[in-house]
């Protein structure tokens, strides 16, 4: 090859190499811009006070700026709702804010230096502020309500909030450390810590250190969040373990309502027991009509003996409180915070007086426009019961039907707040029915369980399935017109129905259908028996429900209890 040709070839190679270098530099710049440069972007908010909740900086999500005045930290009602209490409530009638946590309820009148906390009035140095139509809660004053620790770090204008029920871990830095915004050396430095300085170690949802590729997320004493190499931390110490809430009952709940009239004494069950049951719910209490929160107490000395009998047999006692279908009395209470408060205080007093393990709220037949206020009642009752270790269960109907029977419940909110929501899965065709039919067909029960889980958004482990210990006998004339109906105890059906009446199993209902004619009247029965009850109980395991409840004691044949015991695994 000639010298001229060689020079030309070398020139071409040089140009190609130069292009490769340019492309490599370009790709390097692209990589830096896409991968490294974002790690150096300073997105800190410096013009307002920062809020760090449980090691997460939520300042960008605040609807209103924090107010810090005279040593008090104020957070807007909207932000309290977003971060601490989704059910915080402004009560227009009394110009007060009502807020709740797991075991506390507090109310404070706007502009007044006092609060009512779990029924007791206490003086406060701060009050609720109202500015430009926004209410600001004196958060430092309310820290015990929300069960949090609060620190204001003036040097960084940062408020840190730590929930006391969460795990809290600290460690010491083994060297002078640069705290990085991201878990990589090529990242912006957000803070500097010195050797021996103690930092908070951020925990993930599983209460483990938030560690990524050898980096651990920490919070410095200035409230800054970032990462340091895991091997530069030592002396890790758990200052506080996560609090766990223990259930009163492990395994399936098996509850029986023990009904008796408010005009007679509680039953004497001494010397007896009920197999397959771990909760009894005697009908001890009812609302006083027009009583503004007063309760008719039908327990007395007989009730105390009943509780002693139950406890001696290992049963929890969750008496029911019925509104007796007093629709206007119920509405009056729900629409007035003071009446709700009085009712709640009366309930708490009864729980303490009779050494009760829980309460079963059985309010039926209410105005649908009071639905949200009934939820308020449950929201306000729950922390008072939690404070004294009492379980709250609430009875509701199927999510289909009339406004005052079905639409009067916000099942989602009740399910969120109460320990248990009891689905009274009966009266599919009840006293108001205009045509004969089953009281609790299996397919109807299952369909409504799916409504609870789906459209109502109730967690399965909160649902107790209510099962009837009765059935109805329907009467029709020769033209098929309904002329009568009567509810009969399950144990009595075999004595009422003729022995030779044909019984046909209807698989979709999981019931025997019985039809016979006497004196020109056709009688129809969709029978509840051991087989139909067992089929419904199978839904508890199938859908991982909390358990079952039965309305009511003494309507059942004695043989039912051994089947219930086996089906639910309750001795």
Domain end point (choices 119, 149, 179):
149
- Cβ proximity of 532 and 508 under 8 Å: no
**pLDDT over 60 at 430, yes or no:** yes
Percent of the chain exceeding pLDDT 70 equals: 92
Average pLDDT for residues 536-562, to the nearest whole number?
A: 97
434: left (phi over 0), alpha (psi -120 to 50) or beta: alpha
> Considering the domain boundaries, does residue 452 fall inside one?
yes
Strands (E), 329-441: 358-362, 391-396, 420-424
> Considering the domain boundaries, does residue 299 fall inside one?
yes
Q: How far apart are the first and last CA of the chain?
A: 101
pLDDT for 44: 79
**pLDDT over 60 at 35, yes or no:** no
Looking at the structure, do residues 106 and 227 belong to the same domain, yes or no?
no
Q: Which residue has the higher pLDDT, 471 or 245?
A: 471
Looking at the structure, do residues 395 and 440 belong to the same domain, yes or no?
yes
Looking at the structure, do residues 94 and 201 belong to the same domain, yes or no?
no
**pLDDT over 60 at 531, yes or no:** yes
pLDDT for 261: 83
For the segment 474-489, what is each residue's pLDDT rounded down to a tens digit?
999 999 999 999 999 9
Looking at the structure, do residues 390 and 464 belong to the same domain, yes or no?
yes
> Considering the domain boundaries, does residue 369 fall inside one?
yes
What's the burial of 466, exposed, middle or buried (CB within 10 Å: 0-12/13-18/19+)?
buried
For the segment 357-405, what is each residue's pLDDT rounded down to a tens digit?
999 999 999 999 999 999 999 999 999 999 999 999 999 999 988 899 9
pLDDT for 486: 96
> Considering the domain boundaries, does residue 61 fall inside one?
yes
Looking at the structure, do residues 273 and 421 belong to the same domain, yes or no?
yes
> Considering the domain boundaries, does residue 309 fall inside one?
yes
> Considering the domain boundaries, does residue 45 fall inside one?
no
- Cβ proximity of 85 and 101 under 8 Å: yes
Domain end point (choices 193, 212, 240):
240
> Considering the domain boundaries, does residue 496 fall inside one?
no
Domain end point (choices 202, 219, 240):
240
**pLDDT over 70 at 4, yes or no:** no
For the segment 195-245, what is each residue's pLDDT rounded down to a tens digit?
999 999 999 888 888 889 999 999 999 999 999 999 999 999 999 999 888
Average pLDDT for residues 12-29, to the nearest whole number?
A: 61
DSSP string, 99-134: EE-SS-EEEEETT-SEEEETTEEEE-S---EEETTE
Instruction: Write down the mean pLDDT value for the chain.
Output: 93
Looking at the structure, do residues 332 and 212 belong to the same domain, yes or no?
no
For the segment 114-166, what is each residue's pLDDT rounded down to a tens digit?
999 999 999 999 999 999 999 999 999 999 999 999 999 999 999 999 999 99
pLDDT for 208: 86
pLDDT for 207: 81
pLDDT for 41: 62
- SS3 state at 409: coil
**pLDDT over 80 at 2, yes or no:** no
Phi/psi of residue 503, each to 5°? -120, 120
pLDDT for 244: 87
Per 3-state DSSP, what percentage of the chain is helix, strand, and coil (rounded to 5)?
Answer: 30, 30, 40
* Residue 9 binned pLDDT confidence (cut-offs 50, 70, 90): low
Looking at the structure, do residues 368 and 320 belong to the same domain, yes or no?
yes
- With 0.75 as the threshold, say if the pTM is over it: yes
Looking at the structure, do residues 202 and 333 belong to the same domain, yes or no?
no
Percent of the chain exceeding pLDDT 90 equals: 87
Check which CATH number belongs to the domain holding 71 and give it: 3.30.457.10
**pLDDT over 60 at 23, yes or no:** no
- Find the domain containing 341 and state its range: 253-470+530-568
Looking at the structure, do residues 283 and 400 belong to the same domain, yes or no?
yes
How many domains are contained in the chain? Answer: 3
> Considering the domain boundaries, does residue 124 fall inside one?
yes
Check which CATH number belongs to the domain holding 384 and give it: 3.20.20.80
Looking at the structure, do residues 434 and 550 belong to the same domain, yes or no?
yes
Looking at the structure, do residues 352 and 232 belong to the same domain, yes or no?
no
Looking at the structure, do residues 298 and 220 belong to the same domain, yes or no?
no
């Amino acid at each position: 090859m000639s010298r001229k040709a060689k020079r030309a070839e070398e020139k071409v190679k040089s140009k190609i190499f130069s292009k490769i270098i340019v492309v490599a530099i370009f790709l390097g710049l692209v990589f830096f811009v896409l991968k490294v440069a974002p790690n150096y972007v300073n997105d800190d908010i410096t013009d307002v006070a920062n809020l760090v909740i449980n090691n997460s900086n939520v300042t960008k999500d605040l609807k209103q700026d924090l107010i810090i005045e005279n040593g008090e930290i104020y957070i807007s009602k909207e932000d309290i709702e977003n971060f601490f209490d989704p059910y915080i409530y402004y009560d227009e009638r009394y110009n007060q804010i009502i807020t709740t946590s797991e075991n506390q309820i507090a109310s404070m009148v706007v502009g007044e230096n006092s609060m009512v906390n779990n029924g007791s009035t206490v003086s406060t140095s701060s009050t609720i502020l109202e500015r430009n139509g926004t209410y600001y809660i004196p958060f430092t004053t309310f820290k015990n309500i929300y069960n949090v620790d609060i620190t204001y770090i003036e040097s960084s204008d940062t408020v840190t909030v730590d929930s006391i029920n969460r795990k809290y871990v600290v460690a010491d830095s083994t060297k002078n450390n640069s705290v990085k915004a991201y878990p990589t050396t090529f990242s912006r430095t957000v803070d500097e810590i010195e050797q021996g300085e103690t930092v908070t170690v951020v925990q993930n949802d599983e209460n483990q250190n938030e560690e990524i590729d050898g980096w651990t997320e920490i919070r410095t004493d200035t409230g800054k969040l970032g990462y340091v190499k895991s091997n530069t931390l030592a002396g890790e110490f758990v200052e506080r373990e996560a609090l766990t809430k223990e259930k009163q009952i492990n395994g399936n709940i098996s509850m029986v309502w023990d009904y008796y009239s408010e005009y007679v004494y509680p039953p004497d069950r001494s010397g007896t027991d009920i197999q397959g049951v771990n909760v009894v719910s005697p009908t001890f209490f009812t609302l006083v009509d027009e009583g503004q929160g007063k309760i008719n107490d039908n327990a007395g000395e007989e009730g105390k003996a009943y509780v002693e009998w139950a406890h001696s047999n290992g049963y929890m006692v969750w008496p029911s409180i019925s509104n007796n279908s007093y629709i206007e009395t119920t509405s009056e209470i729900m629409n007035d915070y003071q009446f709700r408060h009085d009712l709640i205080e009366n309930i708490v007093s009864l729980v303490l007086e009779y050494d009760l393990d829980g309460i079963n709220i059985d309010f039926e037949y209410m105005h649908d426009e009071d639905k949200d206020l009934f939820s308020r009642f449950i929201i306000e009752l729950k922390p008072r019961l939690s404070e004294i270790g009492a379980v709250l269960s609430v009875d509701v109907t199927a999510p289909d039907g009339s406004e005052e029977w079905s639409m009067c419940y916000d099942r989602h909110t009740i399910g969120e707040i109460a320990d248990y929501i009891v689905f009274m899965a009966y009266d599919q065709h009840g006293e108001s029915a205009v045509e004969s039919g089953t009281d609790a067909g299996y397919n109807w029960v299952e369909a409504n369980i799916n409504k609870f889980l789906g459209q109502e958004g109730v967690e399965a482990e909160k649902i107790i399935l209510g099962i009837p210990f009765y059935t109805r006998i329907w009467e029709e004339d020769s033209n098929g017109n309904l002329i009568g109906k009567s509810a009969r105890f399950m144990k009595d059906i075999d004595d009422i129905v003729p022995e030779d009446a044909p019984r046909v199993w209807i698989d979709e209902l999981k019931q025997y259908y019985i039809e016979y004619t006497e004196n020109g009247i056709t009688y129809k029965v969709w029978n509840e028996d051991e087989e139909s009850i067992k089929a419904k109980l199978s839904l508890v395991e199938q859908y991982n429900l909390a358990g079952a409840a039965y309305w009511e004691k003494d309507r059942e044949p004695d043989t039912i209890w051994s089947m219930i015991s086996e089906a639910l695994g309750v001795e």
